[in-house]
Structure 1
Amino acid sequence: MIINNTIVYVISDSLGETAEFVARAAVSQFKCGTTEFRRIPYVTTEDHLLEIIEEVSRFPNTIIAYTLVVESLKKLLEQESAKRNIATVDVLGPMMKVISEVTGHQPHGEPGLVHKMDDDYFRKIEAIEFAVKYDDGKDPRGIMHADIVLIGVSRTSKTPLCMYLAHKRIKATNIPLVPEVSPPEELFKLPHGKIIGLKIRPNMLNEIRTERLKTMGLMSSADYASIERILNELDYAEELMKKLGCPVLDVSNRAIEETASKILKIMYRGDQFEK
């Protein structure tokens, strides 16, 4: 039972959040005295560990809760703590032992793997939120913070591509090109390679827009889907893309995944124009 004025040292070779969470959950089941938690993250050397154990030994009623995955550090902690009659709790050890027995595999012994996955997850969420916030030119300020900016006329898959790229942890935004609307000035301030133009065959765009109008309950003969209007928009977009000097991808008959793959090649390998 935890008694008055107990100190729980949380030692980890990463952040130590897991061990502290478990320790606090356990302490919450007792109504006796106060408990102080002292978390010490990123303990990766024997010298550092010995300094901590020496510090712990100077206080009565102490417990060490730890998440150390390097075997040599675990053994040192247990041995030195036993010499000083310090109680220890290996938070990850029992679970890792069972997993090893069931799977027949040994643990990696690499600190911080959980947080590497967490960081990856949060980067993905951040990219998705970015794509939603700056979709369809809602806020041109996003252009300057994007990893990639997609430009093209309406219905060239700009939004789906941005969302797909977001799941690859890429902050993507898109700007619709309309002859009657001047493009954002921010486009002309971006370094070469950050903008990618999207084009499509006129007849295909006509079919896509006609179907779009039908789903909206509008007449398919509207100017939005007319060949004349489409040709005008595509000519305008082509001229602007030439002015910007950006790579151009043809999205006609291409799946989102295929186009996204080509965008990634442009970003990371410097591929240029693809007709």
Structure 2
Amino acid sequence: MNQKELKEFLDEKVIQYNNQDFIESDPVQIPHLFSQKEDIEIAGFLSASIAWGNRKMIIKNSHKMMELMGNTPYDFVMSHSEDNLADLETFVHRTFNGKDFGGFIKGLKHIYQNHNGLEAVFAKNQEKDSLQKSISEFKKIFFETDHLARTQKHISDPLNNSAAKRINMYLRWMVRQDTKGVDLGIWKSISPAVLSCPLDVHSGNVARKLGILERKQNDAKALAELDKKLRKMDAADPVKYDFALFGLGVFEGF
């Protein structure tokens, strides 16, 4: 396929997968449960943070997280007691356990109490074509509170050459202005043009087969390479192609 044909093919796949049907099999359904801004962004952040492995298990455990917080995530974050955190200790998703969950609650309270919320932290350090510095700075601020060293591994740092798939997916949910109702687009201080594709094994493999990614590892350098190609196809909304790449990989075995 030449460049024009490739863009047309991927644009068709975006239309095929970027619709309401996508929600029922994706963890993006979790923030859709809420209407208050802070509830949406906290629910999204926590569910994106455990978004690796089996998708059904991710969704099931994300629902469990919400239940453990009484389905009022912002209120729980801001008014929790040590006893409330102890109640979270039964939680486990792969290597993310109840202690990590408690550490995340403390980090979130710190962000809202001292840094004007999640959107403000990510918006503060954005660059003209990237949010990767924003992610790195967010991680520093998030872990200014008391936490276990092991918990830090659950937030990736792009400046340490991570593709930071889960947090880039979260940013897509919060920032992208989606007319189809999948991404929530509640953050207005960040442009969708600076978003990065949530690069994982599925999207990476499809991108290589289509010739829009050469680097073999799914790391920050591969992400920068893929972002550059996707921005040439749509400078205003490059990460819409995540739906095409992910859909081709997961649903079509491309």
Shorter-normalised TM range: under 0.3
Normalised to the residue count of structure 2, the TM-score between the two structures is 0.24
Higher strand share goes to which structure? 1
**Higher relative contact order (Cα pairs below 8 Å, separated by 6+ residues):** 2
**Which protein has the bigger helix share?**
2
